Structure formats: structure tokens, C-alpha cells
């Protein structure tokens, strides 16, 4: 078995050279073609002066070149850093400076943004993917592909850093999650084993590169010699086209945040789509509202459904197979930990507490943030040798059959007038209402000593549901102190780049209501 991500690509090229590795629209790369093009990119990076361990930015929307960028950077012994093209320029500048990125791998369709980036004060010295910016060295993809394929492999060790994935940080600056070849490959191996991924599988990659769900398609699929179908940005915005793509591409494994599947249902895009090729439907990142999950399972009962859990810091660590469409009030477990993984429930009371994870898939550290790294790990000195556990910040409960239930975030708990309130519990209650499509609950600081609860609601356009009716509905099953003080109706809920509800944006919008 390979011990680096680069070796997994070597093995796939050797074992299934003509199998499709990645597809995007009408474009396809076989494993042989991917090996050749990534060798050419790696040779260029090394010739440009990059040394082992250097960081290379990958600044792209969804496209076929993302796969070439990842494995070309890895083959050069470097670390790939996916950068979200929708980020503000100042945030991009911060990341380029923070990681000391001199080389950016990009695409011609981002030329306007790249012109702005080169004007910023950063270490950037070259851009791959363009050929017409005068103020910086640029190299088109045609130039990269025209190079002689004489790349001499770099010695890469399993503990070398493979990628740094940035997520939002509580300090206002993003936090960089550092994964090695060992942790990334361990995730790939466990995913292949758990979901029985084979060379016949066609995996839909719906997530953008900077979102950790993308690692199934980019890291696990090559290990299994499977095919990754990169879904275009346009398809993610057009449910009807997305449903057709799933059907036409004969997708066998789907993995995304629940929103993508909910939009397919709400738009009626699945009408007359049999999707018989689907054998696995995986979802994670957020709770899949039961009423929508039940609808999807009823439409496609032959597929297996898994609730997948794991912060980006540990890639994935648990999953739970849902065998029957859930009832409205049922709490779907996040399951049990998979192989090479252990868990602890910290400060446990009545089997409830913060989940901590020790796993072979665990990150090394937060990039350039020793304080946060130390604060995020718990050292279990009772084991021999002592083991580090990552503190997820998620509150869980161990139920009677040995499965974990996700109850919410530590930072989604608050006390009002002495009562402890779980904001996620309020959301779950709201979502059981037949006329509520989506809901987001946030706390608002009215004064230094006063907090109130706001619920943002999404209903069908022709619905006449009122705020008082919603508050009354909450009162049927929740104590008075947990009923939202304010209910607002929105045409759409704001989203993060990964498709999750942006509760911070909601709180910011209504902080002075």
C-alpha cells in the first residue's frame, strides 16, 4: 500500500492507466494523462526554484486543472493551499503573506481577479495558468504541457505536509489546518474501506477545493482507481441541470452538504430522473432536515444513506447508515468512530459532553498558531504512550445503542436568566413545522447583560405563516425561555462558500433590530 498521496496516484496509473481519473463537462483525464501532466507541472515548479515544503496556492473555480494542480504540487514535494476565488482581495493577500506563497496555480477564467491580486503587497512572483500579465512572470497551461516529461521524482515522506486548508477563525483571521501525507492518505484509505469504493465507481465532487468534503474525490478516488466527476459551478446553481448531470454521468457515489440535495427536491428537478446508478448518498457538514431526507430516501430507496461527521481537523471520524426514512422528531446519530480512531467525551455528565478525537486522520497543527494548537488538543496521560485528542467543540451524547448523537456546538450554547439554551435544539424544533423550509437561530447581544434569540425563517413564497404562529408552535414543545424573541422571514438564508448557513451574517444583519 502507498504511504504518500503521490504514491497512490502512481499505483492508479500503473494498475488502471486508461481508466478515467477526473472528468469535467466533456473533458476527461485518464490516469496516464494525469500522471504526465502532473509530472510536467512538478518539473516546472522545481525548475522555478521551489523547495520541498514550500507552499503553492491553488486559486481556481471547479475545473479539470484542479486535479493537475494538486498532484503536480505534491509531486514537487510542496504543499498545496486551496484558495477560495470568492474571497475578498484583502483576505487573499493575508493568506498569500501568511503562507509565504510565491507561486499561484490558477486558470484563465480568473484573469480579472488575478490582475487585482498582483497589485497587492504579497510574496507572489509567478502565476501558472495565464500568459499575459506584464507585471509578473506568467506561464500558460499550454506552456506547462509543452515541457519535456523528464521529471525526476522528489523524495517525499509520509510526515511531510501535503495541504493546508483554511477555515474561518474566531479571531477574525482564518485558521490553517495542516495535514500531512499520512493523515490525508489515512483518510483516503479509511474512506475506500468504509464505503467499498472500487475502480467502477463514479464519485460526484460537488464541493469546492477549499472545502474538506472535496478530499473524497481528490484523495480517496485515486487510491481506489475510481473516477471523480467534478461538478461545475454552473451546475451547482442550477438544480435541473445538476439532476440531469447525475443521471447522465451515472454517478454512483454522492457526497455533499445537505443543501445541494434539498435544492434538488425543492426545485422539482428530480421529476422523471431515476438515478439508478446511485449506490451511496453521503452527506455532512450540517444536519439534513428529516423531512427532506425522508423525501429523498423515498424517491431512491435502493441507495444507501450515510450521515458523515468529522471536522476538517480530523477529515472524517464517524458515520452512520440510515436504513429507513426518518420521522420528523427523530435525531439521526453521527454513528460510531471508524478504524484507527478513538474518542472521548470530555466533562461527561449523563453521557453528554464535548467530543474529542484521536485518529490517524488527524491534522498535525494549526499553521503558525501554536497557541490555538495547544488549546485545541487534549493529552490523555492514562494511555501508554500518552495520546493527543483533538477537541472538536461539538457537544455529543452517547445513546443506549452505542451511537453518538450530535447535540450542537459548544459556542451555540448560552444562558438566559440562568437557563441553559441550545440554539441547535430550537432550530431542530422549528424544522419539524410542515411549512418551514429552513431555519437558522442566533443569539443577539442587546446589552452587556442581555441576550435575545432570533430565528430566521424560510417558507414557501405563497405561505402566510406569521411570527406569532411560529412562537406558539415552539411553545408546544419547548420551555418559554427558549422561544425566539424575534422571528424574521427571509427570501434566502446567507451561505458560506461551502454552502453552510452563515449564522454570523444573520446575527450581524439583525444585531440592532
Tens digits of residue pLDDT in 141-153: 999 999 877 888 8
Mean pLDDT of the region 200-211: 95
| Domain 339-409 sits in CATH 2.30.38.10 | yes
- Closest by alpha carbon to 359, among 338, 381, 331, 384? 338
CATH 3.30.300.30 positions along the chain are 421-509
- For 247-259, write each residue's pLDDT tens digit: 999 999 999 999 8
Listed in order, the ranges of the chain carrying CATH 2.30.38.10 are 339-409
State pTM to two decimals. Answer: 0.86
Decide if pLDDT at 34 tops 90: yes
Average pLDDT, the chain: 91
pLDDT band at 390 (very low <50, low <70, confident <90, very high): very high
Chain CA centroid to CA 198, Å: 22
The string of pLDDT tens digits covering residues 307-335 is: 999 999 999 999 999 999 999 888 899 99
Indicate whether 417 pLDDT > 60: no
Q: Are 19 and 225 in contact (CB under 8 A)?
A: yes
Q: At CA 70, angle to CA 67 and CA 76, rounded to 5? A: 130
Three-class DSSP labels, 402-445: CCEEEEEEHHHEEEECCEEEEHHHHHHHHCCCCCCCEEEEEEEE
Instruction: For 428-485, write each residue's pLDDT tens digit.
Output: 889 888 888 889 998 887 755 567 899 999 888 778 899 999 999 988 877 787 889 8
> Band of the pLDDT at 415, cuts 50, 70, 90?
low
d(CA 89, CA 94): 9
CB 318 within 8 Å of CB 404: yes
Does residue 396 have a cis bond before it (omega within 30 degrees)?
A: no
CATH number of 30-203, picked from 3.40.50.980, 3.40.50.1980, 3.10.310.40, 3.40.50.720: 3.40.50.980
Say what the pLDDT of residue 168 is. Answer: 67
Q: Using CB atoms within 10 A of its CB, is residue 409 exposed (0-12), middle (13-18) or buried (19+)?
A: middle
Q: Per-residue confidence at 65, pLDDT binned at 50, 70, 90? A: very high
Burial classification of residue 387, based on how many CB atoms lie within 10 Å of its CB (0-12 exposed, 13-18 middle, 19 or more buried)? middle
Q: For the structural domain made of 421-509, what CATH number should be given?
A: 3.30.300.30
Share of the chain above pLDDT 70, in %: 96
Mean pLDDT of 100-104: 97
- Tell me, what's the pLDDT at 477? 75
The pLDDT value recorded for residue 172 is 54
Say yes or no to pLDDT of 121 above 70: yes
Q: How confident is the model at residue 169 (pLDDT cuts 50, 70, 90)?
A: low
pLDDT for position 509: 85
Least confident of 90-94, 96-100, 108-112, 130-134: 130-134
Residue 420 has pLDDT above 70, yes or no: no
* HSE toward the beta carbon, residue 298, CA cutoff 13 A: 10
| Strand-strand pairing, 341-349 and 352-359 | antiparallel
Output the pLDDT for position 495. Answer: 86
Q: How far apart (Å, rounded) are the C-alpha atoms in residues 362 and 339?
A: 13
CATH 3.40.50.980 occupies which residues in the chain?
A: 30-203
Amino acid at each position: 500500500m502507498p504511504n504518500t498521496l503521490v504514491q497512490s496516484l502512481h499505483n492508479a496509473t500503473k494498475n488502471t492507466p486508461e481508466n478515467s481519473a477526473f472528468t469535467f463537462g466533456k473533458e476527461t483525464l485518464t490516469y496516464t494523462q494525469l500522471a504526465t501532466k502532473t509530472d510536467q507541472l512538478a518539473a516546472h515548479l522545481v525548475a522555478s526554484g521551489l523547495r520541498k515544503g514550500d507552499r503553492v496556492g491553488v486559486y481556481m473555480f471547479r475545473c479539470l486543472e484542479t486535479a493537475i494542480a494538486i498532484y503536480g504540487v505534491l509531486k514537487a514535494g510542496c504543499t498545496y493551499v486551496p484558495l477560495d476565488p470568492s474571497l475578498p482581495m484583502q483576505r487573499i493577500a493575508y493568506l498569500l503573506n501568511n503562507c509565504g506563497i510565491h507561486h499561484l496555480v490558477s486558470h484563465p477564467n480568473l484573469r480579472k481577479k488575478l490582475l487585482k491580486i498582483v497589485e497587492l503587497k504579497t510574496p507572489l512572483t509567478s502565476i501558472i495558468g495565464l500568459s499575459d500579465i506584464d507585471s509578473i512572470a506568467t506561464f500558460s497551461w499550454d506552456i506547462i504541457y509543452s515541457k519535456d516529461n523528464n521529471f525526476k521524482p522528489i523524495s517525499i515522506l509520509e510526515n511531510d505536509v501535503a495541504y493546508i486548508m483554511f477555515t474561518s477563525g474566531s479571531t477574525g483571521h482564518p485558521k490553517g489546518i495542516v495535514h500531512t501525507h499520512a493523515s490525508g492518505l489515512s483518510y483516503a484509505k479509511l474512506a475506500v474501506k468504509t464505503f467499498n469504493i472500487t475502480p467502477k465507481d463514479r464519485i460526484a465532487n460537488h464541493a469546492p477545493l477549499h472545502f474538506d468534503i472535496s478530499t473524497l474525490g481528490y484523495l480517496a478516488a485515486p487510491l481506489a482507481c475510481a473516477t471523480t466527476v467534478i461538478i461545475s459551478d454552473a451546475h451547482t446553481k442550477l438544480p435541473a441541470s445538476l439532476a440531469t448531470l447525475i443521471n447522465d454521468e451515472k454517478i454512483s457515489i454522492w457526497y455533499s452538504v445537505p443543501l445541494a440535495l434539498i435544492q434538488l427536491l425543492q426545485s422539482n428537478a428530480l421529476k422523471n430522473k431515476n438515478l439508478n446508478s446511485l449506490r451511496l448518498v453521503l452527506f455532512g457538514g450540517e444536519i439534513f432536515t428529516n423531512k427532506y431526507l425522508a423525501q429523498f430516501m423515498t424517491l431512491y430507496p435502493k441507495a444507501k444513506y450515510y450521515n458523515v461527521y468529522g471536522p476538517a481537523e480530523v477529515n472524517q471520524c464517524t458515520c452512520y447508515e440510515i436504513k429507513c426514512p426518518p420521522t420528523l422528531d427523530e435525531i439521526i446519530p453521527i454513528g460510531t468512530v471508524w478504524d484507527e480512531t478513538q474518542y472521548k467525551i470530555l466533562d461527561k455528565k449523563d453521557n453528554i459532553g464535548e467530543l474529542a478525537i484521536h485518529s490517524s486522520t488527524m491534522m498535525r497543527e494549526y499553521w503558525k498558531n501554536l497557541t490555538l494548537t495547544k488549546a485545541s488538543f487534549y493529552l490523555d496521560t492514562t494511555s501508554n504512550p500518552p495520546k493527543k485528542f483533538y477537541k472538536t467543540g461539538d457537544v455529543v451524547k452517547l445513546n443506549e445503542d452505542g451511537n453518538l448523537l450530535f447535540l450542537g456546538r459548544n459556542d451555540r450554547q448560552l444562558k438566559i436568566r440562568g437557563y441553559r439554551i441550545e440554539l441547535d435544539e430550537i432550530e431542530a424544533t422549528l424544522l419539524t413545522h410542515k411549512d418551514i423550509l429552513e431555519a437558522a437561530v442566533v443569539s443577539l447581544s442587546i446589552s452587556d447583560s442581555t441576550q435575545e434569540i432570533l430565528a430566521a425563517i424560510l417558507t414557501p413564497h405563497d405561505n402566510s405563516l406569521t411570527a406569532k404562529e411560529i412562537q406558539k408552535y415552539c411553545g408546544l414543545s419547548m420551555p418559554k425561555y427558549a422561544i425566539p424573541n424575534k422571528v424574521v422571514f427571509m427570501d434566502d438564508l446567507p451561505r458560506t462558500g461551502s454552502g453552510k448557513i452563515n449564522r454570523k451574517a444573520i446575527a450581524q444583519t439583525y444585531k440592532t433590530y
